Amino acid sequence: MASIQIENVQKAFGKTIAIDQLNLEIKDGEFFTFLGPSGCGKTTTLRMIAGFYYPTKGVVRFGEKDMTRVPPEKRNTGMVFQNYALFPHMTVFENVAFGLKVRKVSSADVKLKVLEVLRKVRLEKYSDRQVSQLSGGQQQRVALARALAIEPEILLLDEPLSNLDAKLRDEMRAEILRLQRDYKITTIYVTHDQAEALSMSDRIAVFNYGVCHQVGTPAEIYNQPANDFVASFIGEINLLPVQVDHVEQEDIAVTLKNDGEPVKLIVHNHTNEDELNKGNLAVSIRPEAIRILDTVETGTNVLKGKIAAVQFLGSIVNLMVQIDHVSLKVDVLNTHEFGHYYQGKDVYVELPEKQLRLLPVISGEVNV
């Protein structure tokens, strides 16, 4: 079993609490991503799973086994570091063989295993090459091969693609996923890149300032963010501060906190009830979920506005629509003739009630 349980874990460095009250369960064979801005505690958590740090409080388990204070070499985890941490003066073969030799595997078996894993990462022809003579992408493959050679139960990847250019990054994303599926290995991937997290993961944990704010599939995180931090860290979003007027079965009636005329909206989708009874609230809606109506319409959540800016991005057109004192980002597909949307045009926009989400504001006031 290579599932991972993290129970009430805290890690302090002196007075800095790098991670607090963390509870996570990572399933056997899952591709799980830690996502968050720099300094949020992703690497610290990964290092506690690898055994390079021990938690200040709490328990780390692999399956049923308590691993909290087991040293790294006794954990059967393979790790790929951001800077690869390869031995530059050694050959590709020697780098990949290193972990096996430390584990006293016979030299005949070392040879077999190294060649097999080099084939998997498509580097068999480079076996005798010095690592310092390889490109960035090739070095990345050596680092992956070295981690996989020891047949770990768990693969830990700390921002493994951040030193590569955009094209190579795309290729290596696919390569890592192929290897992960091939080896069926529980994998934890650390990144601050939301596109990487959304496109690769089975599930994602979103961190900020040492706290995990949400765990979910990419679609859950994108469509049902737990709060304004998660909503705005992943993709573009409109966040509008509101007060709740009344709740009637599925419908929640809200009014925008707005300096001008009161704007009333009906919302269907919301975070759990407890969250809604405390603190500041906002409604969120993605730019692609807003509809621009070509004819004058009245109805629920239909508002009159004016196009304040148009940005042409090729397949989509990005509009800024001003509704009284509120600005909304709206994405429309580029299916109209050129000039259909222009600055100063009067428009009606619809904010579909199922796409509007009421959520708590945890990171201070939201700007309209």
User: Footprint of ligand ATP on this chain (CB under 6 A)?
Assistant: 13, 16, 18, 36, 38-44, 192
Pick 42 or 213: Cβ nearer ligand ATP? 42
Question: 228 is written with which tokens?
Answer: 């304004």
Shortest Å, Cβ 288 to ligand ATP: 28
Pick 13 or 54: Cβ nearer ligand ATP? 13
| Cα–Cα distance for residue pair 317/13, rounded to 1 Å | 47
Shortest Å, Cβ 203 to ligand ATP: 18
Strand order in the sheet with 346-350: 291-293, 346-350, 302-312, 316-323, 326-333
Shortest Å, Cβ 153 to ligand ATP: 23
Question: SS3 helix, strand, coil % of the chain, rounded to 5?
Answer: 25, 35, 35
CB-based contact 355:285 (threshold 8 Å):
yes
Pick 49 or 117: Cβ nearer ligand ATP? 49
- The gap between the terminal CA atoms of the chain, to the nearest Å, is 49
Pick 42 or 173: Cβ nearer ligand ATP? 42
Question: 59 is written with which tokens?
Answer: 């328990």
Q: What is the sign of the dihedral through the CA atoms of 171, 172, 175 and 180?
A: negative
Shortest Å, Cβ 11 to ligand ATP: 8
Pick 44 or 95: Cβ nearer ligand ATP? 44
Q: What is the sign of the dihedral through the CA atoms of 293, 298, 303 and 306?
A: positive
| Cα–Cα distance for residue pair 232/286, rounded to 1 Å | 10
Pick 13 or 312: Cβ nearer ligand ATP? 13
Shortest Å, Cβ 40 to ligand ATP: 4
Shortest Å, Cβ 10 to ligand ATP: 12
Shortest Å, Cβ 191 to ligand ATP: 8
Pick 38 or 335: Cβ nearer ligand ATP? 38
CB-based contact 4:49 (threshold 8 Å):
yes
The C-alpha torsion from 270 through 276 and 280 to 281, rounded to 10°, is 20
Q: Where are the alpha helices (DSSP H) in the chain?
A: 42-50, 92-102, 107-120, 136-149, 166-183, 194-200, 218-223, 228-233, 273-276
Pick 44 or 180: Cβ nearer ligand ATP? 44
Q: Tell me, what amino acid is at 191?
A: T
Shortest Å, Cβ 36 to ligand ATP: 6
